[in-house]
Structure 1
Amino acid sequence: MTGTTRPASWSSRLFFWWADHPLAQIAVFIVMSTLATIGFTNPSLITDWIPERLEQTDQSNASTRSGRDRNRRNMDYPDGGRVPENVQPFQVGGGQCILVATIGPSSDADFFSGPNLRALRRVAEGLQEMPQIDDVMWLDSVPSFNLFGLSGTLLPSDNASQRQLDEARSRVLENPLAVGQLISGDGRTVLMHLGIDWFFVTSDDAVTTEIRQRAESIASQVPGASLRFQLTGPVPLHLMMANNHVTDSTKYQLIGYSIMLLSAVILFRGFSAVVIVAVAPAVGVLWTTGMLHYLDLQDNPFNDIIVPVLVSLVGLTDSVHLMVEIRQQRASGLEVNEAARRGVSRVGMACLLTSTTTAIGFLSLLGAHHEIVRDFGMCCVVGVAMTFISVLTVIPLGCRSPLGRRLHVGLGKSLVDGQLRRIGPLVDWVLRRDRAVARVAIAVTLALALISLQLQPDEKRYSGLSESGEAAQALRHLDRALGGLEFSTVDVRWYGDSDDGELLDVLGEVDTLLAGEPLIGNPLGLGQLLAALPGEGDAKERMTLLELLPPSLKRAFYVPERRFASVQFRVQDLGIAAYNDTFQRIEKGLESIADRHPDFELILEGHAVWRWSNIYQIVTDLATSLGTASVVIWLVLTIVYRSVRIGLISIIPNLFPLAATAAMLVFSGQHLEMVTVCVFTICVGIAVDDTIHFLTRYQEEMKQGGEHEDVIRRAFTGVGSALLMTTIVLVAGLASAIAGDSRDARIFGIMGCLTLATALFADVLLLPAMLSRYAKSRRR
């Protein structure tokens, strides 16, 4: 222990005490690592003592609510709303896997040619023989509209003449159950919906590549056939997203961490310092992921990439600031233990403040409407807390370890030191023109913030897919050829004694409404089925023809026992923002129809509709949390620095990078998606961290006295190296995602790099100008 006089402030005394007690640090490290290990292996050892009564109460309440909802649904319909058990309604979709067959680009024919039709039929027969395929539904499965009960299919036999093939083309392309549903309007794309028998599925390939390869093998044996096959649908898309999620998260994290580590080695010019800096956030990530198991939050979709990246970035920022301070103290001639002591004392409070403001900001997510957002906020709070503990535990211990003996290696030779000397004159120029720079900073920030308000929420269901993947390419092809893979519906219910004629009138108005929307693909319902039948007459007379159809077709879109009918339509994966006006017009039109027919209730349903009505709330929750976090951060900084002036000054450097990145999204035609808001959430923490470190050093230098401009220069010199290092390392790491094949990964990388770069610009140039112009009253 040296004879250095301890500072009087409680924070300095606290962090000096912590730095002087390595046994306490070792104890914390062991306890936290043990808890994290138990969380990974068997968290029930800790959580079993939690009373089960609350869970049982929740389950009981859920069961009661479910029963009430079920009774409420059934009380409106005769016979409890049951559909006759011996009738299976025909569906033109719903396959777990969808084989997309297209004509090769070198062929001018369509599927109504002898070789192509023969190959297609043999493919269907061959797929049906595969043990994992339960059923195959395609054009040959469509029930006939034969009113005389005669059996038959849409497609002719394999040896049909060209005249018969031409007649079949006309018949198929006029059939509402076929065109736009199972075959494209140009006759060059055909879908086969495959049901899966999961008992025989032993690998992912069994429901992906094996099916496509079997189809290709069969088609290649038919002379003259020119077919190509791709597999998509719920199962292949889910597997692709899951595999991409695992492989991409691992790949990009490894690439990103490797680049950050290599950049840190080059910048620090000292291996020991880099190892200590890198281990601290890595331990924070491990502790975080282990602790999340106790809260049962490990399955949140953000946790595999977003939370680890957030934790590692926040931890790396604080680690670099702390290590740079320790090395500067070492350069002043202090022994490594004393340098670590001084470093923890000087930077520890700033690390605590950055962790507190970041955690409070994420706590605002707990008030969100959706569970996934609330859980994400809790995960981030846990991660920030674990990172703070790991940084202040690992780095002092690392300095006391054998690695600390070579902590001075590379000191003064860093590439950043040379760049810092180059930036120094620019800072002097800013200080000489502080009034103009400050005013421009405020004006530009406000202008960018106003532009960013034009961002609209959006979400693509499969935006995270690798665009080079088979399932994704087939999905995009279906968007173009058939109007999309996903279905939504207009559900029609009626009460009282409404007759069939009025029902058909209502369905006709719904059809007219949907037909007027260009983004709605191929509406299909009772009206289209009746329109395809021969004969004329009013609505009530045509409803009688329905009884002549096969039972599976009668109940495809019409269940009289439940007083229910529906019209389905296709939705492309263009993003919910593209359908905002469309869905709004449809809902308004449905309300108008219901007003004209009081006994009818019309509801727009489907996953796309749910995302349209809920994704706005999810994204809005995230965006609101950012605003709340900004206000909280200003309040915390105002209280901690005991200055409203300093709190107001901090707004510009914190808001500028977010506003600049958001404006870039507006100019590039992008929308406010969950991935973009998550990037904002991550980067605002990094930007605030650098601002807090600068302001903390500024206040310390103010206590030393001197001209105000000299105080700012000393503050910049003290933290400038750390600011440059963290930005260069983090930008290098995030840039690895730009080369990714996934759209979300590219957006993540581009936005992350832009936000961090503009945050450095704001802290190095705008913040000194703001302090010079508006903090002069604090001059001593």
Structure 2
Amino acid sequence: MNNDAHGYAFKTGRVDLLNRWFERIGGGAYHYRWAVLLLCAVLLCCGAWAASLVRFDNSFKSYFDQNDPAYKAFLEFREVFGSDEISYILYQAPDAAHGIWNMEVMQKIRDLTRRLKQEVPFVKEVTSLANAEFVEGVEGDLLVHDVLEDFPETQAALLAIRQKILNKPIYINGLVSRDGTYGAILVEMEKASVDALEEIRFDPGKGDALENLYPQVTYDRIETILAMPEYEGIRFYHTGDVPLNAAYNRISQQESTRLAIISFAVIGGVLLFFFRSVRGVAGPLVVVLCAMLASVGFMAVFSWDMDLMFIMLPALLVAVGVADAVHVLSEFNIYYQKYGDRKAAVKKALFLVGVPCLFTSLTTMAGFASMSISPIKAIKHFAIYSAVGVGAAFLLSVTMLVVFLSFGRRRKEPGRQDRQNRVSHLAAAFLGGLARCNVRYKTTILAGFAVIFVLSLAGMTRLQVDSNFISEFSKRAPIRQVTEHVDSVMGGSTSFSYVFDSGTPDGVTDPAFLKRIEALQRAAEKKPVVMKAYSVVDMIKDINREFHNGDPSYYRIPDTQEEAAQLLLVYEMSGGEELDDYLSGDFQKARLELRCQAVATSQYKSMVDELGTFLVSSGAEKEDLPVLAGMGTLWLTLLDYITKSQIIGFLVAFSVIAGMMCVVLGSVRVGLLSMVPNLTPVVITLGLMGWAGIPLDYVKLLIASIAIGIAVDDTVHMVIRYRHEFARHRNYQEALLAAMLGVGRALLVTSVVLVAGFLVFTGSIMQTLSDFGILVACTIAVALLADFLLLPSLVLTLKPFGEENTV
């Protein structure tokens, strides 16, 4: 007997002990079924209660740990300059004479501006063409006032003001489009989505329901006001941080429920087709529902929030968690028809599939949990609570599902047996054909997979890591349509800020310091993604011009620091209130804000890299370089985290699962051989993404780790059964046919269930989830082909289980 054979004998003894242990679990659960049912009910009630405490949060707080350096820098920026979250309301009046400059339209905008300030919670300031701060020189004095403080009495007077406003660069592409056909209302927030719960709760008496928290309550009130009949005739386009975050929160809440219901319906239909019984449908689905409650309860215990990643959990657990139940049901049905005794069938079923289900659950948990090393908090949490859900589904499959199977008549039902047999005969014919195909064409199969594998590796070299915040929504999502329209006109839905530090209080008035800001601002304004740039430089230049009676030659930075300081002093003494948006209180730091279009993060990175090169080439000392801050910086950090998470997460998942396979199968050789059909579908999917130009974002980075964790399940069942049959027959071809007929049907059912479950994601309004569902479904389908074709061909060729009998 060779070393592998000795290893198999040793492992077989240990596996047999586990088989007997699961057999006793089945018998115990059957005998104490009411106690098991009561215990499960109590635990699930506790889980349901804990689940009610979990809230939704899709702000950047859900992606970054509190101690993350990038996140801490963002919070420090907020300490100095406040929240940079806004609602940006673009509007037009296409049917009115003079458009947005129509007297009646402008009166409505003035009323709307006041109402938004007075009635919308968590608002710091509201700015529009009706109340924008206007600086002008009048008879040697500097006058700072609201542009329409004295509302014009005639249309001609309003049109004259229109020309004044269009001559002010500071307003162009911010509050008014360059051609004057669109206007905008800028609603600045005093809070941010990352603030503590008690700070963003609107009505303390209404608890922490989504509708009572910022940004939801803010967004809902703005939308209610914009829909009022008194503003009829004005077409509004509402976007910005507030509506985008609110849309994420609401979609997360609605989609998780909707996708779960669709998943239950679709997978219930698949189970009904294969098992033709209410018990065969209800049992697995109840198991998954309870596992889901266990996951959410686990989240509540650790005070974790639901985020965009949570949308995937219900459909994911329905698809993955039902697999163990399917194997138990399949074996139960076979032996219930054979014995006609439920308890005996339950014990035999768990004897045969308990150990494989345990190992497959552990490998799936390992695949999911491998992503817990990700620096992205939402993914880290998802990795853990989804692994908990998979573990709960396994435990419930060998306990609570047994309770389901224990009820009913003692003897089999002949009519149902005939219907099931028809399905079984079709499956057996298909699986037998596959076995014969492997025997006859094993070399061709191996060559074909080798060619596909090499082409896929070439495609992986073309794979790009990227994300696009707005493209995460489906094209049919209203928020995406509105945001893309606004970005095509003016404004910019994403913010980047550069913070310049002069090193001394009042240092921002130094002309050399101001010129460094101006140089970067001019360079940034040339970038295609930048819609508008704001800084104190524009204000000082405008004040300087107006202080000199509107002379265009004075639209520049003053020559001396004393002159610049005097202009700012006069501005503040005249009632100016906008400096806080651009300067720190001691006038030591200044902020340059870039409002950018919603584009791929790689384009932001290119912009930042190019501006960084510009700064270095300008000759500035290292200590004089500005610090990149604001919300956009977190997107760039997220891009870097995606790359690290994908590479490290997959390596960890592959290494852990490969090690587990070697232990489970009792042989390093067989364990590594079994990883080939698990690695192949992942490589093929990533290769297809590379060839198709599909970028890897923070959702798709889960594909490799999740897919290998799921794909290995079928491999475990197939290899264990194949090896078991080889021990009986001592012939690889006969063992393959027996293994295919013995476990192939269950693998086919679970794969169909998984594919159907992940295809449910295609119905999501989140485009990134739809793409994820399609890609994982394709990976699972390829994994099934690899287990039915590639794995048998490898075994037939390499003969890893030992020598065949020659007799």
Query: C-alpha separation between the residues in 1 aligned to 2:292 and 2:409?
Result: 22
Equivalent position to 1:570, from 590, 595, 600: 595
SS at match of 1:402: coil
Root-mean-square deviation (CA, aligned residues, Å) is 3.8
Query: C-alpha separation between the residues in 1 aligned to 2:717 and 2:314?
Result: 23
Aligned partner letter, 1:576:
T
Query: C-alpha separation between the residues in 1 aligned to 2:455 and 2:466?
Result: 23
Equivalent position to 1:758, from 775, 782, 792: 782
Tell me the equivalent position of 1:49.
none
Query: C-alpha separation between the residues in 1 aligned to 2:250 and 2:483?
Result: 17
Q: 1:516 to 1:684 in 2, by over 3 A?
A: same
Q: 1:423 to 1:508 in 2, by over 3 A?
A: same
Equivalent position to 2:129, from 129, 135, 139: 139
Tell me the equivalent position of 2:182.
189
SS at match of 1:632: helix
1:682 deviates by 3.5
Tell me the equivalent position of 1:603.
627
Query: C-alpha separation between the residues in 1 aligned to 2:443 and 2:503?
Result: 71
Aligned length: 733
1:607 deviates by 1.2
1:507-534 per-residue CA deviation (whole Å, 9 max, x = no partner) reads 1221233123211221121232344434
- Given that residues 256 and 314 in structure 2 are in contact (C-alpha distance below 8 angstroms), is that contact kept between their aligned partners in structure 1? no
Q: 1:466 to 1:620 in 2, by over 3 A?
A: same
Aligned partner letter, 2:133:
P
Equivalent position to 1:18, from 22, 25, 31: 25
Q: Does 1:691 align with 2:691?
A: no
Query: C-alpha separation between the residues in 1 aligned to 2:426 and 2:644?
Result: 44
Query: C-alpha separation between the residues in 1 aligned to 2:627 and 2:765?
Result: 38
Q: 1:404 to 1:353 in 2, by over 3 A?
A: farther
Query: C-alpha separation between the residues in 2 aligned to 1:403 and 1:467?
Result: 53
Superposed, 1:160-171 pairs within 5 Å as: 160-162=154-156, 164=157, 167-171=160-164
1:702-760 per-residue CA deviation (whole Å, 9 max, x = no partner) reads 11124312211221111221122122233233333313332133223322322222222
SS at match of 1:305: helix
Q: Which piece of structure 1 moves more, 746-755 or 600-609?
A: 746-755
SS at match of 2:184: strand
Query: C-alpha separation between the residues in 2 aligned to 1:367 and 1:471?
Result: 33
Q: TM-score, normalised by structure 1?
A: 0.84
- Given that residues 519 and 571 in structure 1 are in contact (C-alpha distance below 8 angstroms), is that contact kept between their aligned partners in structure 2? yes
Q: 1:9 to 1:420 in 2, by over 3 A?
A: closer
Tell me the equivalent position of 2:194.
none
SS at match of 1:150: strand
1:567 deviates by 0.9
Q: TM-score, normalised by structure 2?
A: 0.81
Q: Which piece of structure 1 moves more, 138-147 or 190-199?
A: 190-199
Aligned partner letter, 2:571:
L
Q: Does 1:440 align with 2:440?
A: no
Query: C-alpha separation between the residues in 1 aligned to 2:298 and 2:393?
Result: 12
SS at match of 1:230: strand
- Given that residues 755 and 777 in structure 2 are in contact (C-alpha distance below 8 angstroms), is that contact kept between their aligned partners in structure 1? yes
Superposed, 1:87-106 pairs within 5 Å as: 97-104=87-94
- Given that residues 119 and 218 in structure 1 are in contact (C-alpha distance below 8 angstroms), is that contact kept between their aligned partners in structure 2? no
Q: Which piece of structure 1 moves more, 648-657 or 535-544?
A: 535-544
Identical-pair percentage: 21
- Given that residues 531 and 596 in structure 2 are in contact (C-alpha distance below 8 angstroms), is that contact kept between their aligned partners in structure 1? yes
Query: C-alpha separation between the residues in 2 aligned to 1:756 and 1:414?
Result: 26
1:348 deviates by 1.0
Q: 1:296 to 1:165 in 2, by over 3 A?
A: closer
Equivalent position to 2:571, from 538, 549, 564: 549
Q: Which piece of structure 1 moves more, 442-451 or 719-728?
A: 442-451
SS at match of 2:399: helix
Q: 1:403 to 1:206 in 2, by over 3 A?
A: farther
Tell me the equivalent position of 2:408.
402
Query: C-alpha separation between the residues in 2 aligned to 1:560 and 1:302?
Result: 37
Tell me the equivalent position of 1:174.
167
- Given that residues 47 and 294 in structure 2 are in contact (C-alpha distance below 8 angstroms), is that contact kept between their aligned partners in structure 1? no
1:325 deviates by 2.0
Superposed, 1:204-243 pairs within 5 Å as: 207-208=218-219, 211-212=222-223, 214-215=225-226, 217=228, 226-243=233-250
Query: C-alpha separation between the residues in 1 aligned to 2:687 and 2:605?
Result: 22
Tell me the equivalent position of 1:78.
none
Q: Does 1:421 align with 2:410?
A: no
Query: C-alpha separation between the residues in 1 aligned to 2:79 and 2:659?
Result: 59
1:54-110 per-residue CA deviation (whole Å, 9 max, x = no partner) reads xxxxxxxx99x99xx99xx99xxxxxx999xxxxx9x9x957544331244x77954
Equivalent position to 2:258, from 226, 246, 251: 251
Aligned partner letter, 1:99:
I
SS at match of 1:432: helix
Query: C-alpha separation between the residues in 1 aligned to 2:584 and 2:234?
Result: 39
Tell me the equivalent position of 1:731.
755
Structure 1 alignment gaps of length 5 or more: 1-5, 45-61, 75-80, 84-88
1:571-616 per-residue CA deviation (whole Å, 9 max, x = no partner) reads 22223233222222223333444x5246524111111111212342
Q: 1:765 to 1:212 in 2, by over 3 A?
A: same
Superposed, 1:190-339 pairs within 5 Å as: 190-194=183-187, 207-208=218-219, 211-212=222-223, 214-215=225-226, 217=228, 226-297=233-304, 299-301=305-307, 304-333=310-339, 335-339=341-345
Q: 1:167 to 1:680 in 2, by over 3 A?
A: farther
Tell me the equivalent position of 1:675.
699
- Given that residues 372 and 379 in structure 2 are in contact (C-alpha distance below 8 angstroms), is that contact kept between their aligned partners in structure 1? yes
1:654 deviates by 1.0
Query: C-alpha separation between the residues in 1 aligned to 2:14 and 2:377?
Result: 46
Query: C-alpha separation between the residues in 1 aligned to 2:607 and 2:435?
Result: 52
Tell me the equivalent position of 2:468.
460
Tell me the equivalent position of 1:124.
113
Tell me the equivalent position of 2:374.
368
1:394 deviates by 2.3
Query: C-alpha separation between the residues in 2 aligned to 1:665 and 1:175?
Result: 48
1:474 deviates by 2.6
SS at match of 2:169: coil
SS at match of 1:675: coil
1:354 deviates by 0.7
Query: C-alpha separation between the residues in 2 aligned to 1:82 and 1:720?
Result: 61
Q: Which piece of structure 1 moves more, 7-16 or 690-699?
A: 7-16
Structure 2 alignment gaps of length 5 or more: 1-12, 53-65, 191-200, 546-550
1:426-480 per-residue CA deviation (whole Å, 9 max, x = no partner) reads 4422321212311331342243144234333333345554654544433222222
- Given that residues 82 and 561 in structure 1 are in contact (C-alpha distance below 8 angstroms), is that contact kept between their aligned partners in structure 2? no
Equivalent position to 1:743, from 759, 767, 775: 767
Q: Does 1:354 align with 2:360?
A: yes
1:484 deviates by 1.8
Query: C-alpha separation between the residues in 1 aligned to 2:272 and 2:638?
Result: 46
